[in-house]
Homo-oligomer: A and B are copies of this chain.
Amino acid sequence: MEHQVTLTALLHGPDQKGLVSKTSSWIFACDGNILHADQHTDHEEGIFFQRIEWTPAPGTDIARHMHAFQVFAQELGMDVEIARSDCKPRVAVFVSKIEHCFHDFMLRWKAGEFPCEIACIISNHETLRHAGEVTYEVPFHCIPVTAENKEQAEAQSLTLLKAEGVELIVMARYMQVLSDDFLRKVKTPVINIHHSFLPAFKGARPYYQAYRRGVKIIGATAHYATPDLDEGPIIQQAVAQVNHRHSVNDLQRKGKDLEKSVLAQAVRWHLENRILAYKGKTVVFD
Contacts and interface: CB of A to CB of B under 8 A. Distances in A.
B25 A244 contact: no
A244 B40 contact: yes
Nearest to A216: B237
Contact of A21 (B28, B253, B257, B282): B28
Contacts of A282: 214, 244
A86 interface: no
Copies in the assembly, this chain: 4
Contact of A219 (B217, B235, B257): B217
Contacts of A107: 99-100, 103-104
Contacts of A36: 39, 41
Nearest to A112: B253
Given A215-B234, A234-B216, A237-B216, A27 B21 contact: yes
A181 interface: no
A37 interface: yes
A28 B34 CA distance: 18
Interface string A131-151: 000010000000000000000
Nearest to A268: B253
A100 B41 CA distance: 30
A236 interface: yes
A143 to B, nearest CB: 25
B214 A113 contact: no
Interface stretch (A63-71, A160-168, A194-202): A194-202
Interface in A207-236: 213-217, 219, 233-236
B35 A41 contact: yes
Nearest to A99: B111
A82 interface: no
23 contacts: A17-B33, A20-B20, A20-B24, A20-B37, A21-B25, A25-B25, A37-B37, A38-B38, A99-B107, A100-B111, A113-B253, A197-B197, A198-B200, A199-B201, A199-B213, A214-B234, A214-B282, A215-B237, A216-B237, A217-B237, A217-B238, A241-B241, A244-B283
Interface of A: 17-18, 20-22, 24-25, 27-28, 31, 33-42, 99-100, 103-104, 107, 111, 113, 135, 197-201, 213-217, 219, 233-239, 241, 243-245, 253, 257, 260-261, 280-284, 286
In the A-B complex, the 3 residue pairs with the closest CB atoms: A214-B281, A21-B28, A21-B24
